Structure 1
Amino acid sequence: MGWARHQIRLLLCAVQFLTRVPTPNLSTFEPDWITRSARYFPLVGQGVGLVSALVLIGAERVWGGAVAAVLAIAVGLLITGAFHEDGLADTADGLGGGQTPARRLEIMKDSRVGTYGVCALGLILATKGAVLTSTPVLTAAVALLAAHGLGRAAAVVAMRATPYAPQGEAGKWKPVPQGVRPGEVLAALLFAAWPLAFLPPGAALAGVAGGALLAILMAALAKRLIGGHTGDVLGAIEQVFELGFLLGVAALA
């Protein structure tokens, strides 16, 4: 019973960290709970994706594909407070605008959004909208559900696979000494995988391949330019995985 109660606390911690959804206050809190709750990040993402998918299906019947796609993306932004999108914009500004690792991290700390951030955010959101519009609505809805969960899982993998950037204070997440454990990464991947069963096998495979490719490229770029990941980089990894996944699914749907 104590183990189950603790898992519920970790799930609530993940919801509080990743979204603006009201949750009961935690009576106690330990510094490593955010890291320990990473196993549940995909489940939180799937909750966001489910609401977005339902909005997409409902709005498509009333207004058609383009408006439905915009509303589905918008509701996801509202639920999360544009949490990962903020990380994407900060990462684009930092990696694109700085000449040294220290300067790149300094730019990422700045709350203002620069040209690189605006362009990256605008292009990714516009491409997501175009992909959702061009994909059959039920397939697009399942793809949204899957993309939100798998994108969070990709960030959890990056937390384990890449080092925390030197002097990295740019993000909202700070690591703990032991980091994300292998079992927690495995749990996150298992939680993230189940929606793939509702997509055509070829489309699911293409989506995972496309998302993984963009996530790996983003992680490798961050490691080369700043020495690893920060919270903002994890947000960027989540976003580019979503984009690659939706593009892959749409290509074979």
Structure 2
Amino acid sequence: MKQYFLYQLNLFLLACSFFTRLPMASNICYSPSKMRRSGQYFPLVGWLLALILSLFFSLLLPVIGLLPSICLLMVLSILLTGALHEDGLADTSDGIWGGHTTERKLEIMKDSRIGTYGTCALVLVLLTKFVLLWELAKHQQLLLALFVAYPLSRAAAISLVQDMSYVSNRLPTSGSKSEPLAKPFKSKTLLFVLASGSLATLALPLMTIIYLVLACSLLRFWLKHWLNKHIAGYTGDSLGAAQQLQELLIYLILLANLPTQGLIQ
């Protein structure tokens, strides 16, 4: 039992080391197979990030007020993840809208430089996120929104590996850092991913849960169709883009189904 717990803890720490910039112990055991299994803890990484951000926001709010606290919350979120998902959003936008063939789109996505499409996507998403978080905070729903959106958006994004092809496997210059994660989950593991990602939704009204499930499922369906159309599969960058879009959608659904209560002035 102890060995099993230590093994699972190692997988979780591997997931944290890949998906965040949090300092990790130097004795984490790595192998491609362990890295692949660590993907199941992507939603739990979301839980950890939501916890850190919630504590940070709760400490700042009484001191500096609402708007500065939300701004610094977003800054900390990017620092904690190393802008991993935002980078994926920018690269995916540049590639898909900047290339005319699948090969050219993938070539652009691998380029570390950011272009017009990526810049516009990044600015618009961050601006939209700021406005949504501001509105949620005014209705005293920000902390709950973080605990719903961070795990659920990550579960929805990584579920794309289940029934899509990993594009980099078909490229001569394979070796992407996301490649060890590019394996479908076993049924039991997929159930754990979805359950851990959606656990916080149990604190929501039933109709809000239904709207969230439908909305996230529809966005997943559209992303799958969109990515298959343009690059015939997915990359690590496109999973980052999926996470960002799912996070925004979750905030929108929560905002549209706010309970009636007083505002924070």
The count of aligned residue pairs is 253
Q: Indicate the residue corresponding to 2:261 in structure 1.
A: none
Query: Does structure 2 retain, via aligned residues, the 8 Å contact 1:19–1:80?
Result: yes
Could you tell me how far apart the structure 2 residues matched to 1:27 and 1:60 are?
36
Q: Indicate the residue corresponding to 1:132 in structure 2.
A: 133
- Counterpart code for 2:15: A
Query: Does structure 2 retain, via aligned residues, the 8 Å contact 1:211–1:245?
Result: yes
Q: Indicate the residue corresponding to 1:173 in structure 2.
A: 178
Q: Indicate the residue corresponding to 1:119 in structure 2.
A: 120
1:85 equivalenced with 2:90 (yes/no):
no
Displacement after TM superposition at 1:137 (Å): 5.0
1:20-31 → structure 2 map (5 Å cutoff): 20-26=21-27, 28-31=29-32
Could you tell me how far apart the structure 1 residues matched to 2:79 and 2:241 are?
18
Displacement after TM superposition at 1:129 (Å): 0.8
Could you tell me how far apart the structure 1 residues matched to 2:208 and 2:65 are?
23
Q: Indicate the residue corresponding to 1:202 in structure 2.
A: 207
The secondary structure found in structure 1 opposite 2:140 is helix
Structure number with larger C-alpha Rg: 2
Residues 178 and 202 of structure 1: is their aligned pair in 2 closer, same or farther, counting only changes over 3 Å?
Answer: closer
Displacement after TM superposition at 1:3 (Å): 2.0
Could you say what the CA RMSD is over the residues aligned between the two structures, in angstroms?
A: 2.1
1:123-162 → structure 2 map (5 Å cutoff): 123-135=124-136, 136=138, 138-162=140-164
Instruction: Point out the more displaced range, 205-214 or 169-178.
Output: 169-178
Residues 64 and 210 of structure 1: is their aligned pair in 2 closer, same or farther, counting only changes over 3 Å?
Answer: farther
Residues 202 and 153 of structure 1: is their aligned pair in 2 closer, same or farther, counting only changes over 3 Å?
Answer: same
Q: Indicate the residue corresponding to 2:96 in structure 1.
A: 95
Query: Does structure 2 retain, via aligned residues, the 8 Å contact 1:15–1:21?
Result: yes
Query: Does structure 2 retain, via aligned residues, the 8 Å contact 1:95–1:104?
Result: yes
Residues 203 and 65 of structure 1: is their aligned pair in 2 closer, same or farther, counting only changes over 3 Å?
Answer: farther
- Counterpart code for 2:6: R
The secondary structure found in structure 2 opposite 1:32 is helix
Could you tell me how far apart the structure 1 residues matched to 2:118 and 2:182 are?
31
Could you tell me how far apart the structure 2 residues matched to 1:193 and 1:176 are?
21
Residues 152 and 59 of structure 1: is their aligned pair in 2 closer, same or farther, counting only changes over 3 Å?
Answer: same
Q: Indicate the residue corresponding to 2:15 in structure 1.
A: 14
* Identity value in percent: 36
| TM-score (ref. length: structure 1) | 0.92
Which of residues 247, 250, 256 is equivalent to 1:251?
Answer: 256
Query: Does structure 2 retain, via aligned residues, the 8 Å contact 1:48–1:148?
Result: yes
Could you tell me how far apart the structure 2 residues matched to 1:204 and 1:52 are?
23
Q: Indicate the residue corresponding to 1:229 in structure 2.
A: 234
Q: Indicate the residue corresponding to 1:219 in structure 2.
A: 224
Could you tell me how far apart the structure 2 residues matched to 1:171 and 1:53 are?
33
The secondary structure found in structure 2 opposite 1:131 is helix
Residues 193 and 219 of structure 1: is their aligned pair in 2 closer, same or farther, counting only changes over 3 Å?
Answer: same
Instruction: Point out the more displaced range, 230-239 or 29-38.
Output: 29-38
5+ unaligned residues in a row in structure 2: which ranges?
Answer: 259-265
Could you tell me how far apart the structure 2 residues matched to 1:177 and 1:59 are?
39
The secondary structure found in structure 2 opposite 1:55 is helix
| TM-score (ref. length: structure 2) | 0.88
Instruction: Point out the more displaced range, 136-145 or 217-226.
Output: 136-145
Query: Does structure 1 retain, via aligned residues, the 8 Å contact 2:86–2:240?
Result: yes
Residues 23 and 37 of structure 1: is their aligned pair in 2 closer, same or farther, counting only changes over 3 Å?
Answer: same
